[in-house]
Structure 1
Amino acid sequence: MAKPKKQPRWYFSLRSPYSYFAYRDLVERYPDVADAIEWIPFWEPDEVTQKMLDEAEVELPIVPMSRAKNFYILQDLRRLSKLRGFDMTVPVDRDPVWEISHLGYLVAADAGKGREYIDAVYRARWLEGRDITDRAVIGEVAGKLGLDADTVANASDDAELRARGVEALTRSYKDGLFGVPFFVHGFNKFFGVDRLKPFVAAVRGEEPVEGDIDQSWLGEFIELPELVTPGGDGGIAGGCA
């Protein structure tokens, strides 16, 4: 019996502005593909998650980011958001715990409201400049979606959700993820927003055509900051692809 094919999937990060660009493209331009693929969260782990990953011998591709790259990204985001017709905020993240928002997504997804949660959290972070590592912010988002605010906001305290989060990060490791957004279709991998169109073609069973690679929309390598830049997010994960 032939081995069943894995569902096409994409790894998104609520922290990543480039994942936000990809998210908007998926739901606004390619809703059929958004519905057909699996959505898997990726984030930079805290000490608890990192210990669990170490025990599983999973090494995520996280490296420090230079000051120069940090400043470039801030300029890049302003350019790309204006080209896309909206103003983007760049919040300051100080000692963030990304499990708070990303494990909260698992709770929302279990309740059938994963996509609504992603949209609301992205909006809070990138359009309203709110701190999505603040449990109160995540609780407020959850409450407006009709979810139990305490359960979602405190998802990072739940051992089972922690284990599921490690499983998601382990899948990214096995899929060869080195940055976000990251798309997988069979043996083919696509990195960055500039590779979204070829991924869409693959999912639809179409042949990619000339011009399908849009170099204006970039992805980002997964990196951690060395500093927090006043007036910008020193916690943006990575630089241009």
Structure 2
Amino acid sequence: MAHIDYFFSVVSPYVYLAGQRLEAIAAQFDATVDYKPLDPGQLFGRTGGVAFADRHDSRKAYRLQDIQRQARKYGQVLNVQPQYWPVNAAPASYAIISAQRAGGGDLGALVHGLARACWAENRDISDDAVIRDLLAQSGFDPDVADRGMLAAAETYAVNLEEAVSRGVFGVPFYAVGKELFWGQDRLEDLALHLAGAL
């Protein structure tokens, strides 16, 4: 059985634009997925990337065009200037980590729901009420966000260290062993790899 390690942050527009295609691919190939939220700012700083605010204007302009094209391509609503962005992703990430440990719900739906809340619904994904609502919508006990907070914070830091050690430098990033796929636009390649065709 194939296994996919998914390094991501729900504050990334490209994580939102990935939708739940990863979950569809995993189901198609009977693969397991380990969700590994991390701090993208720290990841960029440690791997030669540049924080969005510090990028050249031409890069910012291209990103704006690209995310709008990708949203149209996949039929997704996208607010290019969310009311709550940038936002602290740690509380939502801790909830994802705690939910993954607890089980009982749809983790892919939770991850996509949090990203959608930021990029399409103008909701503050650092707000406890928003997190609890999305946990419930995804079939988890909303109180899971309050349990194991310290362990979740530790895992969040460990995810970053693992990402750096494995050659991850952006989000979303998908790893199958030593095979790495960066960006939601590489999901087709991930599927081809799992099929043994790439």
Post-superposition offset of 1:160: 1.7
Deviates more, 1:106-115 or 1:142-151: 142-151
CA 1:39–1:95 in 2, change beyond 3 Å: closer, same or farther? closer
- For 2:125, the equivalent position in structure 1 comes to 132
Structure 1 spans left out of the alignment, 5+ residues: 209-241
Conserved 8 A contact 2:7-2:37: yes
Question: How many Å separate the matches in 2 of 1:104 and 1:196?
Answer: 25
Question: How many Å separate the matches in 1 of 2:34 and 2:160?
Answer: 14
2:85 pairs with 1:98: no
Say which structure is richer in helix: 2
- For 2:50, the equivalent position in structure 1 comes to 63
- For 1:123, the equivalent position in structure 2 comes to 116
- For 2:16, the equivalent position in structure 1 comes to 20
Deviations 1:30-81 (A, max 9, x none): 6324843332222236xxxx7xx9xxxx945553332513333223222221
Post-superposition offset of 1:7: 3.4
2:162 pairs with 1:162: no
1:185 pairs, out of 160, 176, 190, with 176
Deviations 1:185-227 (A, max 9, x none): 23222212232222222223x123xxxxxxxxxxxxxxxxxxx
Paired AA for residue 13 in structure 1: S
Post-superposition offset of 1:99: 0.7
Structure 2 spans left out of the alignment, 5+ residues: none
Deviations 1:111-156 (A, max 9, x none): 222223213213322331212122221122223345443541x56x
Conserved 8 A contact 2:13-2:67: yes
Deviates more, 1:134-143 or 1:176-185: 134-143
Conserved 8 A contact 1:26-1:33: no
Q: State the TM-score, normalizing by the size of structure 1.
A: 0.66
Q: State the TM-score, normalizing by the size of structure 2.
A: 0.79
2:31 pairs with 1:40: no
Deviations 1:65-115 (A, max 9, x none): 325133332232222211222321231345622111111101211222222
Question: How many Å separate the matches in 2 of 1:17 and 1:94?
Answer: 10
Question: How many Å separate the matches in 2 of 1:21 and 1:11?
Answer: 15
Question: How many Å separate the matches in 1 of 2:156 and 2:110?
Answer: 17
Conserved 8 A contact 2:40-2:170: no
- For 1:81, the equivalent position in structure 2 comes to 71
Conserved 8 A contact 1:103-1:161: yes
Where 1:184 maps in the other structure, the secondary structure is strand
Larger radius of gyration: 1
Question: How many Å separate the matches in 1 of 2:98 and 2:13?
Answer: 23
